[in-house]
Structure 1
Amino acid sequence: MYTNNFRAPVRRWPAVALACALTAGPVALAGAAPVYATEGHGHAGASVLRTDLDVSLLNKSVQVPLTVSLNEVEAPQSARRTALTATLDGVDRGKPFSVLRAEVADAVATVEGDRAEASTTLADARLHVPGLPLLSLVEIEAVGSRAVCEAGTTPHASVTLPAAVTVLGKRVSLSAGGPTHVDVPGVGSVRLDLSTTATTSSTAAATALKLEVSVDPAKLNVAEVEGHLTLAESRCETPASAEEEPEAVAPDAPEKAEPAVGPQGARAGQAAPAETGLAETGGDSATPYVAAGAVALLAAGGGAVLLSRRGRRN
């Protein structure tokens, strides 16, 4: 038998320090909240039981949280623990009390290839809260949940429920039409939310039962127990398919050489002239020809002016 110590959030503890020690069946408990995998690798997770309860002692000066879980697994894992007990300082002088006992309590989570799947099964189970050692909060014949996420298909979530359960000693027929309320004078009340399922384009989640509890046992130094319990929860996220994997990036091809650009005025098909070592003044190899043409024009102009003057004199 293994024992795990669970620290409650600081916000819930009063000035007096209290300890909560948990033991479960043949294997250690999984007490951490699930962490979802991302980046397209898929995810699957399941839990048989999760509790989030506040236990007030008779003097009302101390409120002790009871946050435990049974068979909470993340892919690829499975667990088959059938019992969960806990101890709370100030409750029944610190003696262990049973939270859940069952004939079958299985949780399985797998991710293989492009498929993620999670499932839970709970059968012949009795759930207790502090202060009610003999009266079961809920007795269940069999419940289960399943979530399947596979690439290329729509995620699926489903729940299996019995026709009836026993709540605080009362046999109650379950209905899918809405929550079920059970009130027991002198003990308290329980609200059952049934068969919660949700799916998106890539995720699925299924919960068989959610219980909202408010009981006043006034026994074993317990004045009040309030909070929530979740039974048989499964969830998954679709892995990325092979087609959705990013394609390998091809190595960069060598850049094509820019075509040579000849000087302005060059004839089509004529190769660009080689550099001649001119100073960087904007001149090129045609400069001498341009200069010679300018000299010839200047000489011709001078001759025309001279002839014009002779004609005037005559």
Structure 2
Amino acid sequence: MNSNTFRTPVPCPRRSRRSRRIASIAAATALAAGPTALAGAVPAHATGGDGKASAVVLRAGLDVSLLNKSVNVPVRASLNEVNAPASAEKTALTVDVDGIDQGRPFSMVRAEAASAKATADRHKAEGRTHLTRAKVHLPGLPGLPLIELENVTSKAVCVAGGQPVAEADVVGSVTVLGKKVTLSAAGPTRVDVPGVGEVRLDLAKTHTTSRTAAASALELKVSVNPLKLNVAEVDGTVTLAGATCEAPTPPAKQPPEEQPQEQPKEQPKDETRPQAATKPQHLAETGGDSTTPYVAAGAVLLLALGGGALYVARRRA
């Protein structure tokens, strides 16, 4: 006969004691490990992040209208543009733009030397550029360089915890649209060529904040309208030798560990002890005191009595 009554299993005393013993051993092991076992889950020191840097020999942002303004072509070109955290360096000498000269590549920049380098790590971020003997052309004016220059450099350096530095320099002669110009750091230089257009040059622009720096050797704002020559219209900006950086985030400073304070040592108390009364020193040389004369007199008396008794005894004999 089947029964629907189920008995609750009775735990085995031996097994229960064994389970309690294992649990006790595990708890004792955890307590013995103490905070050292948990310390591995928490980083000992907070680390900072890598910095950032960039460098570019030339960057152009131009709007080009082809013949009779029937077609507008944006030109976004760059020469040797690099970015870091990872170290990068480029040394190309030319940059070509497609879709301008009836679908044929248009050579916008030619240089004897052109380099851009960017590096960044947890200690320093740095961008550098160098351009030597370069000619920059605009679409629609292949025979007349926008600018010819001898030597330009720029750098931006950002060190963790330090003041960022931005520098730019232009060395040698500069020719804009066929005209030699003298650049001034006091303000922009304007070059106007009748029948061609106008160019405004800003020399050696730098900017720094508490953690960033930026530098560009030359910035040209171009407004060329050679429609009288039946070529094209070009508006935009050309930047030469640009560099930027952002300082690495320094590691978070750990609060100084509290040193146990030393208890001030108790200064010995200035105890005034009573001085013993000074006894009068009599016969200090022989060690005698005030009873010595009486003892000596008694000895003499006994000696005299002894001598007298000896004399009487001899007479009687």
* Separation in structure 2 between the aligned mates of residue 246 and residue 73 of structure 1, nearest angstrom: 32
Aligned to 1:186: 195
Mark the runs of 5 or more structure 1 residues left unpaired by the alignment. 1-38, 249-314
1:63 partner amino acid: N
Equivalence for 2:252: 245
Other-structure match for 1:263: none
Say whether the 8 Å CA contact 2:59–2:238 is kept in structure 1: yes
Within 1, Cα distance between the matches of 2:88 and 2:228? 39
Q: Map Cα deviations across residues 198-231 of structure 1 (whole Å, 9 max, x no partner).
A: 1111111101111101112349963201111111
Q: CA offsets per residue over residues 55-103 of structure 1, 9 Å max, x none?
A: 1112223211011111110122111011011122xx4322222100001
2:107 corresponds in structure 1 to 98
Distance across 1 between alignment mates of 2:228 and 2:55: 34
- The question of whether the paired residues in 1 share the 8 Å contact of 2:122 and 2:160 is answered with no
Structure 2 CA distance for aligned equivalents of residues 62 and 151 of structure 1: 49
Hey, what does 1:110 align to over in structure 2? 119
Q: Look up the equivalent residue of 1:195 and give its one-letter code.
A: A
Amino acid at match of 1:232: A
User: Counterpart of 1:161 in 2: which secondary structure?
Assistant: strand
Shift in CA distance, 220/55, structure 1 to aligned 2, threshold 3 Å: farther
**Aligned residue number for residue 165 of structure 2:** 156
Give per-residue Cα distances to partners, 1:24-75, cap 9 Å, x unaligned.
xxxxxxxxxxxxxxx8421111111111101111222321101111111012
Rounded to whole Å, the distance in 2 between the matches of 1:61 and 1:152 is: 54
- Does the CA contact (< 8 Å) of 1:40 and 1:238 recur in 2? no
What is the root-mean-square deviation of aligned Cα atoms in Å?
2.0
Q: Deviations over 1:156-204 (max 9, x none)?
A: 0001112530000000011111000000111111000111101111111
Deviation at 1:113, TM superposition (A): 3.6
Residue 74 of structure 1 corresponds to: 83
Matching residue within 67, 71, 83 for 2:94: 83
Aligned equivalents of 1:41, 1:92: Cα separation in 2: 43
Larger Rg: 2
Tell me what 2:55 maps to.
Answer: 46
Tell me if the contact between 2:49 and 2:122 (Cα under 8 Å) persists in the aligned partners: no
SS at match of 2:195: coil
- Find the aligned partners of 1:233 and 1:93 in 2 and give their Cα distance: 31
Q: Which residue of 1 aligns with 2:65?
A: 56
Distance 1:60 1:197 in 2: 36
Contact 1:209 1:232 in 2 (8 A): yes
Is the partner of 1:159 in helix, strand or coil? strand
Q: When the two structures are superposed, what TM-score results if normalisation uses the length of structure 1?
A: 0.62
Residue 119 in structure 1 maps to residue 146 in structure 2: no
1:1-314 equivalence runs, <5 A = 40-75=49-84, 76-88=87-99, 91-218=100-227, 222-241=231-250, 244-245=251-252, 247=254
Deviation at 1:246, TM superposition (A): 6.2
Q: For 1:221 and 1:46, locate their aligned partners in 2 and report how far apart those are by CA, in whole Å.
A: 36
Question: Separation in 2 of the partners of 1:219 and 1:82?
Answer: 32
Q: Secondary structure at the match of 2:232?
A: strand
Percent identity, please: 55
- Which residue identity lines up with residue 187 of structure 1 in the other structure? V
Q: Distance in 1 between matches of 2:131 and 2:228?
A: 29
> Per residue, is there more helix in 1 or in 2?
2
Structure 2: segments with no counterpart, 5+ residues: 1-47, 256-317
What per-residue deviation string (whole Å, max 9, x for no partner) do you get for residues 108-149 of structure 1? Answer: 001134111110000100000111111100001010100111
